[in-house]
Structure 1
């Protein structure tokens, strides 16, 4: 007898749930507190540029999920020094609601980044809490 998705592989929800077992999460309030206290080396936003332009957390660096591996690898022409020079820094990864950031944090961890967490609830929760937001054009390499 087959189980749900056994023939199709894992669902997105299952993959995120597995990542959640190994990747720590912070709430938006905890992330803001750490940012305010200067305890974060990098806030990484893995949403798409169109999402970023509608609003993002001040000081965040944009690295869309689809380009993350190339931005995080210092040997590629797409490497972002804002990211590659922070391999041991405390990095908070955010997306819209927490799924992409969980997978992105897991990817960074597998690439040797040592202190990566995902922000639970993502930008949606951040903005719902009334925390600062800015708008602006996404500058991509």
Structure 2
């Protein structure tokens, strides 16, 4: 039976632990050795991300987690026993990615609930690709949804 994207995300939510932005900030402040894995596309990461995050786009995640591929990311492969928190824009791609990583043997992988949008809503710091602070107003504008009418799908007949 085919599922909708939202149903697939919700199914992952049942199998993957999540934490809210303030919980992640508390763990980072406490010095927990967390690998922050940002699974957004490189252009999204370049615009803004949490300082210290590793960018591995969702599209190459599986081979990036294994030795022997052009996409292999050694730091990620070696993190199977390390706490990993996966982040994306809103917390959906990160749930899918974390579920896959659990299947690949990552023992302590969670998803950032509400994603970077929620991180920004809590006014937690973001940096750009040069490592410079992103002003809150700029991040607010960036995270404002921009859905075109054709992306909403056909309207039901009346």
Q: Same fold (TM over 0.5)?
A: yes
Q: Size of the alignment, in residue pairs?
A: 130
Instruction: Choose which of 83, 96, 120 in structure 2 pairs with 1:103.
Output: 96
CA distance in 1, matches of 2:5, 2:49: 24
Residues 55-103 of structure 1: CA deviation (Å, up to 9, x unaligned): 0000000011001011111232321112111111010000000000000
CA distance in 1, matches of 2:32, 2:10: 27
Unaligned runs of 5+ in 1: 1-5
**Structure 1's 26 and 107: CA in aligned 2 closer, same or farther, altered over 3 A?**
same
Higher relative contact order by CA 8 Å / sep ≥ 6: 1 or 2? 1
Instruction: Choose which of 12, 16, 19 in structure 1 pairs with 2:9.
Output: 16
Could you say what secondary structure the match of 1:51 adopts?
Answer: helix
Query: 1:24-43 to 2 correspondence within 5 Å?
Result: 24-43=17-36
TM-score computed with the length of structure 2 as normaliser: 0.79
CA contact (8 A) 1:40 1:92 kept: no
In structure 2, the partner of 1:115 is: 108
Shift of 1:50: 1.1
CA distance in 1, matches of 2:31, 2:112: 16
Task: Spell out structure 1 runs of 4+ moving beyond 4 A.
Answer: none
Could you say what secondary structure the match of 1:58 adopts?
Answer: coil
Q: CA RMSD in A?
A: 1.1
Query: Whose Rg is larger?
Result: 2
Instruction: Choose which of 68, 88, 94 in structure 1 pairs with 2:81.
Output: 88
